[in-house]
């Protein structure tokens, strides 16, 4: 996300996707806010419950979406990094693994007898081709 887009988040109450991971490994759907560091190309994500924050670059965030169901000053940040809250309250950010591609890999369906040839090829959502 670029700096201009990020400025829309200033003053918003935000929820992270994926949720932050808490000290016990639990998913934390908490409220966050952002502060823009004017001197650097970075943002501070602040946990609204504790006031603790973590510095991240603009490239840690994929996109912003409003959450009008909750209020005009609420939104979501779709993250490219995983935010973690340690037992002592410190917050860190680390990269998420790359997304899986949408490649459909065929699987071969075999009959109950191992001497017969395959009865079809399953192409996932594309259905089954019988031979």
The maximal CA–CA distance of the chain, rounded, in angstroms, is 71
Residue 102 scores a pLDDT above 70: no
Average pLDDT, the chain: 83
Domain residue ranges of the chain, discontinuous segments joined by +: 3-95, 100-131
pLDDT at 1: 80
Collapsing DSSP to helix, strand or coil, 8 comes out as: helix
25 in the Ramachandran plot: left (φ > 0), alpha (ψ -120 to 50) or beta? left
CB 77 within 8 A of CB 9: yes
Instruction: Specify the pTM.
Output: 0.71
Name 16's Cβ contacts closer than 8 Å, sequence gap at least 6: 30, 32, 45, 76, 77, 79, 83
pLDDT at 24: 95
Q: What percent of the chain has pLDDT over 70?
A: 75
- Measured between its terminal Cα atoms, the distance across the chain in Å is 49
* Structure tokens, 86: 């340690």
pLDDT at 3: 79
Per-residue pLDDT tens digits for 20-73? 999 999 999 999 999 887 777 788 999 999 999 999 988 899 999 999 999 999
Strand order in the sheet with 107-109: 107-109, 120-122, 128-130
């Amino acid at each position: 996300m670029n700096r201009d887009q990020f400025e829309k988040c200033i003053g918003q109450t935000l929820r992270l996707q994926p949720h932050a991971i808490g000290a016990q490994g639990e998913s934390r759907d908490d409220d966050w806010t952002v502060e823009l560091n004017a001197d650097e190309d970075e943002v501070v994500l602040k946990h609204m419950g504790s006031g603790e924050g973590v510095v991240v670059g603009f490239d840690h965030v994929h996109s912003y979406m409003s959450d009008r169901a909750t209020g005009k000053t609420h939104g979501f940040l779709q993250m490219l990094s995983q935010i973690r809250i340690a037992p002592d309250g410190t917050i860190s950010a680390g990269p998420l693994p790359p997304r899986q591609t949408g490649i459909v890999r065929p699987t071969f369906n075999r009959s109950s007898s191992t001497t017969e040839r395959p009865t079809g090829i399953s192409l996932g959502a594309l259905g089954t081709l019988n031979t």
